Structure 1
């Protein structure tokens, strides 16, 4: 399975915020949507990503006052993205090597979706199950 198939299944909706958004507003958005990261964009172009980890690190280093600052103060600016043709194996490798749980999907410089580690694991388990079923069917026929 590749990213295109994942996006077709789950949809391309991405929770985003602008660079002027406060960390508190971003945290509220994460809680409301039950997600772990928000992509910071301007005109559909990715400027950064702010995750739960980033918020925890901000509060740990600067106290509650960090919540009133803009997301740009704490977001990850070097955002690794994936493309529609990346496979689940490639995504797992990228996420494992870089130690993150969310990969924005980019096409022609624009944000078109996001893939989480949960999305990848769910699809990979389905692939393994299909392979096992095929082997069982082959062996018993």
Structure 2
């Protein structure tokens, strides 16, 4: 299974902000959209990502004010991205080894989606379930449903 197949199922909606708004405003947007991270996109170029983890570690734990701090002050600019053709096991390897939760999806330098650890885990579980069903049918001599 590929990233493109995950996006085909979940959709290509990307929640984005600009880096000049306050962290508080970004958190409000994330809350309204029920997402754990937003991409920072300016002039159609991916500039960074802001996650709830960034807020917790760079604002809350350092006693900064989210209403006064701008997104560009705490966003992560060292992003790891994937392509639509990348395999989900490659994505899981990135998520696990780089200790990240979100992967922006780029095609020809343009953001076309974002996948989360939850999306990747769900896809892997579905693949494993299909494999188990197939093997069970093979062993029992019946057709899989």
- Shorter chain as denominator, the TM-score bin is over 0.9
Gaps of 5+ in 1: none
Aligned twin of 2:79: 79
- What secondary structure does 2:119 align onto? helix
Does the CA contact (< 8 Å) of 1:59 and 1:67 recur in 2? no
- What secondary structure does 1:82 align onto? coil
Does the CA contact (< 8 Å) of 1:58 and 1:66 recur in 2? no
- What secondary structure does 2:46 align onto? strand
Aligned twin of 1:134: 134
Mapped to 1, the partners of 2:101 and 2:62 lie a distance apart of 24
Asked if 1:110 is matched to 2:78, the reply is no
Aligned twin of 2:69: 69
Q: How much does 1:61 deviate? A: 4.8
Mapped to 2, the partners of 1:127 and 1:139 lie a distance apart of 18
Aligned twin of 1:100: 100
TM-score, normalization: structure 2?
0.93
Larger Rg, first or second structure (1 or 2): 2
RMSD: 1.1
Gaps of 5+ in 2: none
Aligned twin of 2:124: 124
- What secondary structure does 2:67 align onto? helix
Q: How much does 1:28 deviate? A: 0.6
Does the CA contact (< 8 Å) of 1:16 and 1:40 recur in 2? yes
TM-score, normalization: structure 1?
0.95
Mapped to 1, the partners of 2:81 and 2:67 lie a distance apart of 26
Provide runs of 4+ in structure 1 moved above 6 Å.
none
Asked if 1:14 is matched to 2:14, the reply is yes
Mapped to 2, the partners of 1:119 and 1:28 lie a distance apart of 23
Q: How much does 1:94 deviate? A: 0.3
